[in-house]
Amino acid sequence: MGFVEKKTLMNQIEKTYSRLWTIASGKIMVVADIHGDWEVYARCRDIFLTRRALGEADILLFLGDLIHGEGMPYEDRSLEIVRDIMRLQSELGSAVLCLCGNHELPHMYGFGLSKGRRDYTPKFEARLTAEGDRAAVLDFFYSLPLFIRTPSGVSLTHAGAAKEIEDLEIAKIVFNWDHQQRLDKANQALAQENVANVRRSYAHLSGGDSYDSLARHYMGVTGPDDPRYDVLLQGMFAMLDPQFDYLYTTLFTKCEKHYGLLTYSHVLRRLLDYLSYDYINQHILVAGHINVDAGHEIVAGQHLRLTSNYHQKRENGVYLLFNTAKPVLQASNLQENIYPIWS
Ligand SMILES: [Mn+2]
């Protein structure tokens, strides 16, 4: 790659706010939740590299939730996927981007995440401890944006619009979210406490296992001498900050499935307004997070939901490829830009 070409590529990304980035030009290939499935990941990566060589795609963008296997039939290779994306970023710079998903979040703050009887964090944390690349992986997670907007009027995020983002001031708090500042504040609050008592309360609230066993199991800590020993308490204090809800619901929102379609359509339009602040009007929100059997669906006319890896219907996985120079007014206009991953 020539110097001039690389420089142009770097200039496509503007970090307007720390967590709301603008992709100013180029063709973006969008891949939704991978959840540790190496075959889906490698297939999408290779499709991108082929299309890039042909001049058909400039940027590969993952919508978050790279990690945490969803069980059979595939092996969970979350850490290999994260490492490979970090390698690609060091080689190709901002041609490879990723949004933050709700499954990355527990590792960044220190809390367990489970669905039914499945605990998501233990395996990934155990590997970070055993293989020694926690700092690099967490730095990568902390670097991820929450929203991306484009001159076509298409914005992208992990989950969708959240009702708790009630006005532009709250939206700006999320657009400027500073993980380090929140973690420092949580650790300062924890330092004011009798930590042994807080550990006991934490264990009690968690149902009776000792703090020691919880920290080892969920967060891969090695024992009381581990400098990360109180990471679960850090996570608890971070979540006690009322503003943490803004981040949490941004990444966990169940959209119309939680609010109902009428309310969601209002919440969605409001978020698109905030994303348009000081910029070209944003008309469409593209997100993953909720699995769709058919690979994609349109919600409230302006939300395009994509599924790239849904293990029950893996063959239906799709990606989106669109040109940021072409204005889009309705989500249905993007349907011609959706491609099967397996064909
Ligand atoms: Mn998700």
- Of the candidate ranges 10-19, 43-52, 307-316, 317-326, the one whose mean pLDDT is the lowest: 10-19
Distance 312 CA to ligand 1 centre (A): 16
pLDDT exceeds 60 at position 140? yes
pLDDT of res. 5: 46
Record the pTM: 0.95
Query: Three-class SS of residue 198?
Result: helix
> Could you please report the per-residue DSSP string of 174-186?
HHT--HHHHHHHH
Amino acid letter for position 68: H
pLDDT of 2 above 60:
no
- Please report the pLDDT score of residue 287 as a whole number: 98
> What is the Å distance from ligand 1's center to 214 Cα?
24
Q: Angle of helix 231-240 relative to helix 244-252, nearest 10 degrees? A: 100
Rounded Cα distance between 156 and 160, Å, is: 8
Cis peptide before 73 (omega within 30 of 0): yes
Instruction: Quote the ligand 1 centre to 291 CA distance (angstroms).
Output: 9
pLDDT at 72: 65
In the reported structure, the alpha carbon of residue 241 is separated from the centroid of ligand 1 by a whole-number distance in angstroms of 22
Half-sphere exposure of 84 (CA within 13 A, CB side): 18
**How many angstroms is it from 7 CA to the middle of ligand 1?**
33
Between 4-8, 47-51, 232-236, the lowest mean confidence (pLDDT) is in 4-8
* Ligand 1 midpoint to CA 253 (Å): 9
Residues 94-137 pLDDT 10s? 999 999 999 999 999 999 998 888 899 999 999 999 999 999 99
Q: pLDDT at residue 198 above 90?
A: yes
- Going by C-alpha positions, the residue among 139, 135, 241, 251 that lies closest to residue 182 is 241
User: What would the pLDDT profile of 157-189 be if each residue is shown by its tens digit?
Assistant: 999 999 999 999 999 999 999 999 999 999 999
Q: Where are the domains of the chain?
A: 3-104+144-163+253-340
CB 97 within 8 A of CB 62: yes
pLDDT value for 83:
98
4 alpha carbon – ligand 1 mean position (Å): 37
C-alpha 289/C-alpha 258 separation (Å) is 13
Task: Give 127 Cα–ligand 1 centroid separation in angstroms.
Answer: 21
Domain at 3-104+144-163+253-340, CATH class:
alpha beta
DSSP H or E stretch at residue 118: strand 118-119
Yes or no: say if 133 and 139 are a contact pair by the CB < 8 Å rule.
no
SS3 304: strand
